[in-house]
Chains A and B, each alone.
Chain A
């Protein structure tokens, strides 16, 4: 083992060159010029990442976009698209005595009858973890069956896969996978008849894993351009400029505007582990649609770690529950499909806020509604 001395990271904050206002103005002007050239009333592009929405809303980027450029968030929040029956499975396991370990945002997401937080308030054991490793540590430290309720897109699924492939897991540890795979969801959005989406901004860190080459097939089949972008405000603006250029030119191709983190082939070590552990399965994404191959489930050979194989999870007793009138008025699914904005929802900021969320989009820090509630989404121009 060797060590290094000083670290750039410990040093003083670097000048935020990507927040350079002159560059931002130049990119904004370029976008305005491009939209003028296109000359239509509206050009709509979609991103599919909660962290992108956080940055867009936090830095007020929509205020510098031309009025005719409509930037919306699609199904980019894995917690939000976790379906009620998946939450129900975790709730039943918890009520039946397992300790559920899960990422914090999952705890308050409503199931059919209750959330994990509700179950915990009635005595069930629910622990928030920040990583799959911490769930394993919990299992090592107690006698109870510990079930890791695993959510997240590819970026997070690879971490769960690495844990599954460890050879010294405690016998009381298992996984309830609600992991989601993004590319099939982009296809569903592209196929919605009323969609106006003309191009996608792909999330930089998910593409760090999958590589930008993954989107070539999508581009070929749907004729829509995809641009991979980073998370700095100027990364996002630069990504948008390239995307709108491609739309203007009628060019359907993939472009990587985040080369410092993304390569064509991606992280093949992580991909290998992910596909060794998971297979895709079709299933509902909450409020959106049944997404073919949009879920990641443990392969048969890992059945001993799969909570669904290990326990008889009978969620029927929850299904008799009649959803509240408020739940019926929630339009999370329509928002995540790109067909409505949070401000179109009559509950937004009234009956539904982060303290008393009606839908999952107001629970998760990656949910469009919660992000808009904190930062505001579409500043008045």
Chain B
């Protein structure tokens, strides 16, 4: 059985969510980067951190929490979260394979790679494997066209892909499912 993406725009879990003290400290310092009264500016970096640290997607609970941190109306956060393609509004697999399907990658073998992933994982774009490990997404140009075909997995770049390499990447992630990517969002900021 495949888990088809659900098309409710928002998922409410009725859970209490909150950042660790350390992350909260980072969040506060991010807010201070913008002028007094312009704390709304911090919304994108904070949503990135929230998605990464609070469940891999933005539930209504998480968005409401972010709204409270920024002193915003929750609607202002929903509005933003729905505009940007890096934010997920439903549960995703542990690893989200975001494969570039734009022109320059497509003419360098990207279409083959995409088809191979579908065959190999037995899922279509937008679906998650039954074990919850992998979600397949097609995305637009990742700014890595010279190294195409390219994809990102949880914001990590994978380039010069071939069908065989993709299998290896998937198997490596399966084997070593704790293998995290490099630094998280909060750690990127000094």
Chain B associates with chain A: no
Chain A residues within CB distance 8 Å of chain B: none
